[in-house]
Amino acid sequence: MPKAAIIGNTTWGSTLAALLGDKGVAVKIWTRSRTEAEELNQGKYSYSSTNCIEEALDKADLVIWAVPSQRLRQNVTLAKSYLTDSMLFVSAAKGLEVDTGDRMSQVIGEVISSDLRGQICVLSGPNLAKEIAQGLPAAAVVASENITVAEKVRELIECPHFTLFTSEDVIGVELGGAFKNIVALGAGVMDGLALGDNAKSAFITYGWTELVSLGTVLGANPATFYGLAGLGDLVTTCAGNLSRNHYVGCELAKRRPLSEIRASMPQVAEGVYTSMAAHQLALKLGKELPIVDIIYDILFQDLPVKEAIVAFKKLAAAHYQPSLSILSEFAPREAPIVVKGKPKS
């Protein structure tokens, strides 16, 4: 029987634990406190829990970090001494480390032994944990620089209602999962101000195009941003009521201070940190990202949301369009209509 360790009793972590446990994997969730572990072990779950990280990792075939992005480095450091070359490592966090701008796989790779780095994967896609926990169908992407490693992880995690695809574009899959949260914050502001779906769609289009251009400069395959880990995740996060980032945007539109909103939430809205990291990356690269700047200014420069909307309208009125010439060969093209097996001209 394969064994899995889930580092982090987050909503996503416990959902993945249940998914794996239900398919026959022996799962242990690592929690920070004994009390938390004991409470979990009293429930009727298909997994068990421990606050001893050595116990959680003992003889594990699969190690999944499902922790907030800003705590990943700390949690990988705690696990480092117990990691072996028989393990596969998966980041299930969607974000960028603020201090460094690093992606999550980079953080893991910087902490663990160099001879283990080839076993790192990332998991991302349109995955609202609550829906998956209810058994509703979903799909995601497992990415690794070694496609064989990605396939092994896919086989361990995939189940009938959770379909996984593999990719070698680790950069694109990670950035897609991180960047969509920035756009979701803005989409939430649009909904909070009741500006309608037309305005929200315009904002999403401008914002995503801008972030795809940044991701391309950072080394991602542009096509990845139009797949499950990009566009798929973007749609879910901007449209669903279950999105934490969309919720933060809605609350900002009500003039609630960010500190108050965050204090009232039991979970982390990753888009807040990712907006800061993306803003810093753009400055470092000398790249202009007006939409990202607007979100950043709302979050950290006290820009009133109504002034932000005025700024966005001015951009749109000026027919603003990020430079995407690099994407021309990757841009989605209209597929031919097929009738009875033959293309219709």
Known catalytic residues? 180
> Distance between CA 308 and CA 71 in Å, rounded?
31
> Distance between CA 115 and CA 127 in Å, rounded?
31
Residue 250 carries which side chain, given as an amino acid letter?
C
- Asked if 198 and 310 count as a contact pair (C-beta separation under 8 A), the reply is no
Q: Is 50 helix (H, G, I), strand (E, B) or coil?
A: strand
Instruction: Report CA dihedral (63, 100, 290, 226) to the nearest 10 degrees.
Output: -30
- Asked if 26 and 6 count as a contact pair (C-beta separation under 8 A), the reply is no
Task: Spell 220-245 as b/e; 16+ CB within 10 A means b.
Answer: bbbebbbbbbbbbbbebbbbeeebbb
Distance of CA 88 to the CA centre of its chain: 19
Burial class (CB in 10 A: 0-12, 13-18, 19+), 160: exposed
